[in-house]
Structure 1
């Protein structure tokens, strides 16, 4: 009997999982997505797409590498899936400069290219973003870049569909049936879909969907602001991604405008809205955070923000993904809290786990918080949000 697999969520993670499974040709794959076709209302739809290879966990480095390998080969409507623009990390204090030196050593250990630059070299690479009067040191990571999340998702969706994967758009999951310890079906729309496996890849809604099976996933939607400049008339050469780790800020050249994100604000955990991974801009302390981020730019290049976006992403108590089998329910799998940086690599790793062709990744085990208080896990997730080093990996 053909193995029946249902993937919940058609953002970049769910679509990547479906494409990997569909390419096998030995299973039946259905993707259930609450949004209509062509709309990316989850975190994928507003992801700035920062790709940073260097991370504290070797497993995350490997997932990022595999993702970049995938994105480099993709295009959609003439647009590439990945832009290899590199990245700069800027230090404004001697302590931050010392941390950049330590990251060079860590990069060498991981086999990632990294070079320390003097202030003049950094300003020459990113003159609109690096303030020559404040930069003390810089780190250049030439293998980093920017993914076009929508391009990657559309390209993978087309490949999955060509392989026979079925997509059910505009369909909500309202139940998961478990029989004798195994997943049996899901209720989607007005009917039931039999399933041998269910993969949760639905971002900020993952916790709500898991609850239908009596599972508590320590997955918390959290607000993350991103702001854009107004469109510019003058075309500039491509600029590397720029990060200010000590300020918890990162910036990207989007071509026709610049944008930046910041986690230098009070964490705001929320209930997931029903229809999109975004809130109306609340102002207040988020306005203060955006203003502080703008102050990092050279005075001649500080701009008035155009759109301010209160996006939502999923966060866990250790800020790492939940990837692998969910214990206690056979055939139930998690691919949650995964950013664009790691999406394709995580999809490949999960597919291999499902077919016993690759090992589980212990540090990403979805069950690693089992038995801990939900309230304590929520507190730890909020506390991890502002960890400065993790802003290097934001790709929501």
Structure 2
């Protein structure tokens, strides 16, 4: 019998388990695969405030940004300041192709109210010496950061298990949830392919598959997969890119409802010396078929932004599925339609960055504390017809 059952061992589920255990709760984490085997294992590791419009998601991102920094210090290992999960507070540079886009970026930055620096075209190369000179300027966000998402999920789970008492966090991997246990209307556990697990509360942190888990409980969450590809280059001898760099089109694509293909240049280096090149978005179900035309477009956009990449080889690509919600906000909180069920899913491409805040806020709910942020905008039943 656990205080909390977390369904999903990605970074959001790991954060929920970590903060629940840190609050003194006994936690069981269940996943049909291994740790970070789903969307987390296919992510870039973005910890961004720069791409969020003013509102509840930006507030969530700012809270989470601070929590990632706290975790990096708390988990510190051989690489000081990186927390054992390659935390890099390198900042993000959003660039504009023309004066009109630059004006829009400047206006957005002013509305966001987060720390930023307006960079004129003449100053871009002070930030990124290899950028194309054919840009109108940009905005630098020092709070933007990067983590290695698989390491982050694993470290959260391991640290919780090792730091908050033996047996506080248990992993049931290779166990698929097939249904829910109930006492009257209240959920009291889950049925899995490896047996029943009892708990006072169940947290749905199944990411892109969060809607399927919700359906097993008889409630609807309109979470859909949004596929994205990433190109990975060969390791470079010397770092070519200092920050996370992306074009203004990325901000537009994040907020788009279009089901068709959208791409924008998102480029950054890693501690291993490789360069990650994205990003694409399209709703094609769970089709993992590699699209060479999409990869070619990503490569072309990267070279247009950083001409020095033209002679660098791409060594592999991968794709993942972002958990898309129609209003582009995650689902966080208790589900009034199914007492005992909580949700922590639907973060789309921001799940890595928003994971600590999501886990922290849910732990506050589970222990009866007042959440640090108003969770009303993220409520699970907001999509119901009667809520329209």
Could you state the TM-score of these two structures normalised by the residue count of structure 2? 0.84
Task: Assess if the C-alpha contact under 8 Å between 1:243 and 1:250 holds in 2.
Answer: yes
Map of 1:242-257 to 2, 5 A cutoff? 242-246=245-249, 248-255=264-271, 256-257=273-274
Distance change >3 Å, CA 154–CA 3, structure 1 → 2: closer
1:29 pairs with 2:27: yes
| Structure 1 CA distance for aligned equivalents of residues 199 and 308 of structure 2 | 58
1:321 pairs with 2:324: no
Show the counterpart of 1:159: 159
Map of 1:19-98 to 2, 5 A cutoff? 19-25=18-24, 27-36=25-34, 39-54=35-50, 55-72=52-69, 73-74=71-72, 75=75, 78-79=78-79, 80=82, 81=85, 82-98=87-103
User: Equivalent residue of 1:296, what SS?
Assistant: helix
Distance change >3 Å, CA 333–CA 372, structure 1 → 2: same
What are the superposed Cα offsets for residues 24-49 of structure 1, whole Å, 9 maximum, x if unpaired? Answer: 22x3211112223xx52111112211
Superposed CA RMSD:
2.4
Task: Assess if the C-alpha contact under 8 Å between 1:242 and 1:252 holds in 2.
Answer: yes
Aligned residue pairs total 355
Task: Assess if the C-alpha contact under 8 Å between 1:186 and 1:193 holds in 2.
Answer: yes
Map of 1:235-384 to 2, 5 A cutoff? 235-236=238-239, 239-246=242-249, 248-255=264-271, 256-263=273-280, 267-271=282-286, 279-284=288-293, 286-302=294-310, 303-338=312-347, 339-359=351-371, 360-371=374-385
Could you state the TM-score of these two structures normalised by the residue count of structure 1? 0.83
Distance change >3 Å, CA 58–CA 294, structure 1 → 2: same
Task: Assess if the C-alpha contact under 8 Å between 2:335 and 2:342 holds in 1.
Answer: yes
Map of 1:126-137 to 2, 5 A cutoff? 126-128=128-130, 130-132=131-133, 134-137=134-137
Show the counterpart of 2:235: 231
1:116 pairs with 2:113: no
Show the counterpart of 2:9: 10
What are the superposed Cα offsets for residues 236-265 of structure 1, whole Å, 9 maximum, x if unpaired? Answer: 2760110102363311111311112123x6
User: Equivalent residue of 1:196, what SS?
Assistant: strand
| Structure 2 CA distance for aligned equivalents of residues 191 and 78 of structure 1 | 40
Unmatched segments (≥5 aa) in structure 2: 251-263
